[in-house]
Amino acid sequence: MEFRQLEIFVSLVENESFSLTAVEMNISQPTVSLQLKQLEEELDTALFIRSTRELKLTDTGQKLYDEAKELISRRDRVIDRFSERKQRKISIGVSTISGSYILPNILKEYCKKYPNILIDVKETNSAVTIKKVSDYQVDFGIVGMKKENENCEFYPIYEDEFVYICPNTEYYRKLKESNPSISELAKEPLIIREYGSGIKNNMDRLLATENINVDKLNIVISINDEEIIKKLVSLGLGTSFISKVAVESLEKKGDIITIPLTNYPERFRSLYAVWNKKVNLAKHVKDFLNLVVKK
């Protein structure tokens, strides 16, 4: 048994997703599956009850999770105490849009002011990031939605706008000219983000304005990677609701068509800075927080 296996196992428990764990650990999904299999074989016990919809821990899995968290934490404390080179670090959790389009400019400004701080960025969906902030697994987060949580403080830092994107074909060019409603757009084949993402949350809000039942949508693909969604749309495999900032360059190149949702105030959402209000943050983390929220 190795620490790496335990780290993968802990990530899998917390993300409840092989794909998200693969992204977080910077490995492939087959590697996640293999490491879990090897761990179960070594311990000669099942750690998860698998189904098509969820990963559920067995009783043994829960016990191992508690022990693994403590072992990893103890190891990190030893490293911090005895490493020759101690460096201050900020651990930041981000959702897809904030990580790709908001965080880089923030980091540019922060690193210019504070060049000797190590920045550790962990990209997951908004719901997972909020949980990591609440559990103090990251110092700070930037997310695409608010979620009720007694430990978390949210502060709006950016107004994001949603658009509908579709392949650049004659059919969709004519559809755009007709100034379609969301009810009409919702009849098209849709590519959607996974549950827990801010994008999926905002899409549901938009559909709710016209009482559209999400279960009756023509969903052709569900995927958690925004870049793949854009590529699939450009290839003609479906349509999607997405942040305008994420598709401006593709629209200029003519790879896709965007249809604005100008009649719907719900097209706007806030991106939020989120931190654990019950934790006394280190000064270099407070400096980062102050730069982001600019109070």
- The Cα 104–Cα 98 span in angstroms is 9
* More reliable by pLDDT, 197 or 132: 132
Is residue 110 within 8 A of residue 291, CB to CB? The reply is yes
Q: Model confidence over 46-61: pLDDT tens digits?
A: 888 876 667 788 899 8
The predicted pLDDT at position 86 comes to: 57
Residue 88 to residue 96: CA distance in whole angstroms:
25
Query: Quick one: which H or E segment has residue 72?
Result: helix 59-82
- Residue-wise pLDDT for 96-121, tens only, equals 888 888 899 999 999 998 888 889 99
pLDDT tens-digit series, residues 241-288 = 999 988 999 999 999 999 999 888 888 988 999 999 988 888 889 999
pLDDT score at 53: 67
pLDDT bucket at 84, cuts 50 / 70 / 90: very low
Task: Please enumerate in sequence order all residues whose Cβ is within 8 A of that of 1, keeping only pairs 6 or more positions apart, or say none.
Answer: 39, 42, 43
Burial degree of 137 (CB within 10 A; 0-12, 13-18, 19+)? middle
What single DSSP character describes residue 145? S
Which residues have a Cβ under 8 Å from the Cβ of 96 and sit 6 or more positions away? 123, 125, 144, 197, 199, 225, 226
Q: What is the pLDDT of residue 289?
A: 92
53 or 85: which leads in pLDDT: 53
- The per-residue pLDDT for 232 is 95
SS3 169: coil
Under 8 Å between Cβ of 197 and 96: yes
CA distance 148 to 141: 15
